[in-house]
Amino acid sequence: MKSRVQERDENRHRLQKELDKLQVDLATMTSLHQEKAQEATSAKKRVDELMSNYTGDAKSMQSELSSLRSEKEQLSRLHSEVESQKQLLQLRHDSLTTESQQLQRDVQKLERSLENFKATLAEEREAVNLREQKIRNELASEKNLVEEVNLFLHFA
């Protein structure tokens, strides 16, 4: 029973470490997401500036626009990947939190059971001690009675 409690404690510690790592990963992904969102905004501003300031021919503008669209698509894909990873990390976090809470409840239940067991054991020991003392008293009484009978027989 003791090893099960230790195993649950080890599980809880392991899960807490995993939870901490996932929280760090989530923070990293959130930061990366913000950077990429800023890059996308910057690229959009760049496109807007080029569109308004560009005086070159249409072919050059079309090439630049194509390049920017390609970059935008890459950033969009990266953004989607970051969002997916962020959602996955959130799911893992939620799952680990739920499992950790369940393990905490299990540990508390086991602790209550252990306390009940200890109380029952103490009661049983007390009952055994009382029975032993009663038997010793009865034995002493019988011994005294035998001695009295022996004395009586000895003098009779």
Residue 130 located in a structural domain:
no
Distance from the first to the final alpha carbon of the chain = 65
Residue type, 1: M
pLDDT tens digit sequence for 55-111: 556 667 788 889 989 999 999 999 999 999 999 999 999 999 999 999 999 999 999
Q: Dihedral, CA atoms, 123, 124, 129, 135, nearest 10 degrees?
A: 130
Number of alpha carbons in the 13 Å side-chain half-sphere of residue 108 = 6
Residue 51 located in a structural domain:
yes
Q: Judge residue 89's burial from the number of C-beta atoms within 10 Å of its C-beta, 0-12 exposed, 13-18 middle, 19 or more buried.
A: buried
pLDDT higher at 3 or 103: 103
pLDDT higher at 66 or 2: 66
Q: Locate tokens 């501003």: which residue?
A: 45
Residue 54's pLDDT is what?
Answer: 57
Residue 131 located in a structural domain:
no
Contacts of 11 (CB under 8 A, 6+ apart): 103
Residue 58's pLDDT is what?
Answer: 66
In the chain, the number of structural domains is 1
Residue 149 located in a structural domain:
no
Residue 69's pLDDT is what?
Answer: 94
Residue 124 located in a structural domain:
no
Residue 133 located in a structural domain:
no
pLDDT higher at 22 or 116: 116
Residue 156 located in a structural domain:
no
pLDDT tens digit sequence for 7-62: 888 888 988 898 889 888 888 888 888 988 898 898 888 887 777 765 556 667 78
Residue 150 located in a structural domain:
no
The structure's pTM equals 0.41
DSSP assignment letter at 37: H
What span, in angstroms and rounded, lies between the C-alpha atoms of 15 and 20? Answer: 8
Domain that holds residue 44: 2-119
